[in-house]
Amino acid sequence: MGDDDRAATQAASEVLRESVDELLVTFERQRAEMAEVGRRLAATTVTAWSSDNLVRVDANTAGIPVDVHLTAEAFKRSTPEKLGRSILEAVQKAARQAGEVSQQAWAPVAALAGDVPDLPDIAPGMPSIKSLVDTLFPDPVTEPAPAEPMNDEDEDEYFRNRSYLDGGK
């Protein structure tokens, strides 16, 4: 091997070493940012109300309800069926909000990862981390039609002919 070949090999090795060093620095920044985002999200909740304002749902950033609140009016102004739809609506709104909050929180980490090569770029045949990250944020659920409040005649008829306390019997 001549001096020219040796110099070319050393230059190529130095370029590769610098690339690996940059990659490691980026990975460390990303790891620290991910830990911070995780801590922030763990302490965050979202709140959503049904369109009829009878149900409030608080959920964590995974979209899991942590509290469900029914107003006192919920039992006066609604039927069990409509109240069930109101609860479902509020839960789904909270889940969508949680997804939006999570996506916003993870956006800086995703931006930082934009310049980092994916595993298949480095080692062919490896699974794609970028594809895995894309699956962390599924499409939101479809929004149901808002619950319609009962008019006075429907409300009187409902409570006159059946009791919500005994299962409608």
Q: How far apart are CA 100 and CA 87, in angstroms?
A: 20
DSSP code per residue over 96-130 = HHHHHHHHHHHHHHHHHHTTSPPHHHHSTTPPPHH
Domain boundaries, the chain: 3-161
Return the structure tokens found at 157. Answer: 């008829």
Confirm if 21 and 28 have CB atoms less than 8 A apart.
Answer: no
β-partners of residue 50 are none
Angle at 158 between CA 143 and CA 142, to 5 degrees: 5
Using the predicted structure, report yes or no on whether residue 15 has a pLDDT greater than 90: no
Place 151 in a pLDDT band, splitting at 50, 70 and 90: low
Q: How far apart are CA 91 and CA 58, in angstroms?
A: 8
pLDDT in tens, 127-147: 776 676 666 655 555 555 555
Mean pLDDT of 91-100: 95
Mean pLDDT of 60-81: 93
Which CATH fold would you assign to the domain 3-161? Ybab; Chain: A; (3.30.1310)
- Please give the model's pTM, rounded to 2 decimal places: 0.58
- What are the CA-CA distances from residue 45 to residues 24, 63, 119 (Å)? 33, 9, 34
